[in-house]
Amino acid sequence: MPAPLLFLNDFRILPLPHQAEQRAILEWLAEAHARAELAARGPEADPGARAALAQRLRKLVLRFGCSTDRIRTRGSALDDFTHTDWARMRIFDLDRFPAGRGSAARGRIFQEVTEAAFRQAYLGDTAPDALVHVTCTGYASPSGAQRLVAERGWGASTRVLHAYHMGCYASLPALAITAGLAATGTRRIDLVHTELCTLHLNPLLHDPEQLVVQTLFADGMIRYTAAGPGAPAAGMEVLALHEEIIPGTEAEMAWSVGDHGMAMTLSRRVPDHIRANLAPFLARLAERAGTSADHLAREARFAIHPGGPRIIDEIADLLGLAAAQVQASNDVLLNHGNMSSATLPHVWKALLEDPAVAPGTLVAAMAFGPGLTVSGAVLRKAG
């Protein structure tokens, strides 16, 4: 096998202020969709029609939303999701703004939350040589990373880079950026993911595709450290990286800025495209790591980005994986939901800390995003 490109360690989840059970979130969403639709239509004379509409929308949310057996809890940085006092909500004052407040208001909250997260992440800590900020759920310039470096007086010693707008698979391109930095002699490189997916909910969108998105995505933030070759062998070794774009799939997934936050398009055909292209992709990824796809399928743990429960299940079925091989991915989905780019680092952390995963175990990481882009890595748990 090749020498490691990087060593990943010191994973620290940045806690979110609000956690809720998926069951409660589904009920909140059902009420929000009804409230938004009724506000958009204006006063109706027939209270029975209002009740019927609310009941119909609740059924849609419960039918198409991600089930509580696959997602148990999700976190958010915004307290709007913890109550139904619509008038005091920062974004979802739906009686006045049926689609929620506009992108400018959501952007201000993104900036506020991410700046606070960077400060919290580096309380009493020393300066890294480089800091890579990863996100696809907001924009602010100077970024939270840049403001932290400026406030701490690290500007002469810490280089800031941004891995933005790639979507759920961004943790893997971020490793490629980090490996490039390490190859130039940069010693300590920190990566920080700040994904605030819930900021972009629009409760006026009732189609099944959007209901899946709204009941799947959650907020998530995590920090970890990378060091290049020659560093102490600890944590996860990154052995290989590979990425491909599937031809003819550009319309299957999209992430764009709209008037009311960012809007995601997520086709039901995404798992089918992944299934059709995964085997040759995995073979090329495995070759880069000096192994084979068959060996990975037999021996490795799989860190699969849970774009949805079906994706984990489809990959496990296609490759003939045992339940234990994808358990960490399912556990992160169950306890956190889909946190966009922050999700895979949560899975790596879980595998690193799991005593049942022995040192030397290979980890095949895979994630998917607009393009459709398939991105992967082979890692190894160090002793």
Average pLDDT of 124-130? 92
Say what percent of the chain tops pLDDT 90: 78
- Written out in words, the top-level CATH class of the domain with range 233-381 is alpha beta
pLDDT computed for residue 261 by the predictor: 86
Give the model confidence (pLDDT) of 156-174 as tens digits.
Answer: 999 999 999 999 999 999 9
How far are the Cα atoms of 37, 49, 51 from residue 44, in angstroms, in the given order?
11, 8, 11
pLDDT computed for residue 44 by the predictor: 66
Selection from 145, 229, 224 nearest residue 182 by Cα:
229
274 vs 216 pLDDT, higher one: 216
Give the residues across from 373 on adjacent strands.
Answer: 245, 369
Give the model confidence (pLDDT) of 1-23 as tens digits.
Answer: 788 899 999 999 999 999 999 99
Determine contact, residues 135/145, Cβ cutoff 8 Å: no
Give the model confidence (pLDDT) of 229-263 as tens digits.
Answer: 776 667 999 999 999 999 988 888 888 888 888 88
Beta strands in 234-327 (DSSP E): 236-245, 253-258, 261-266, 301-304
Structure tokens that stand for 230 in this block: 């020659």
Main-chain phi, psi angles of 363, to 5 degrees: -125, 120
For residue 202, how many C-alpha atoms fall within 13 Å in the half-sphere facing its CB?
Answer: 19
> What length is written for the chain?
383
pLDDT computed for residue 24 by the predictor: 95
pLDDT computed for residue 267 by the predictor: 78
Average pLDDT of 143-148? 97
pLDDT computed for residue 232 by the predictor: 65
Selection from 160, 165, 142, 133 nearest residue 14 by Cα:
133
Give the model confidence (pLDDT) of 47-97 as tens digits.
Answer: 777 888 889 999 999 999 898 999 999 999 999 999 999 999 999 999 999
pLDDT computed for residue 5 by the predictor: 92
Selection from 283, 178, 185 nearest residue 238 by Cα:
178
pLDDT computed for residue 347 by the predictor: 98
In angstroms, the CA 88 to CA 222 distance is: 29
Determine contact, residues 251/93, Cβ cutoff 8 Å: no
Average pLDDT of 330-338? 96
Average pLDDT of 198-218? 92
pLDDT computed for residue 224 by the predictor: 97
Which residue has tokens 């068959």?
A: 294
pLDDT computed for residue 256 by the predictor: 83
pLDDT computed for residue 234 by the predictor: 73
- What is the distance in angstroms between the CA of the first residue and the CA of the last residue of the chain? 16
Q: How confident is the model at residue 45 (pLDDT cuts 50, 70, 90)?
A: low
Sequence-separated (6 or more) residues with CB below 8 Å from residue 117: 14, 144, 192, 194, 221
Sequence-separated (6 or more) residues with CB below 8 Å from residue 63: none
In angstroms, the CA 82 to CA 201 distance is: 15
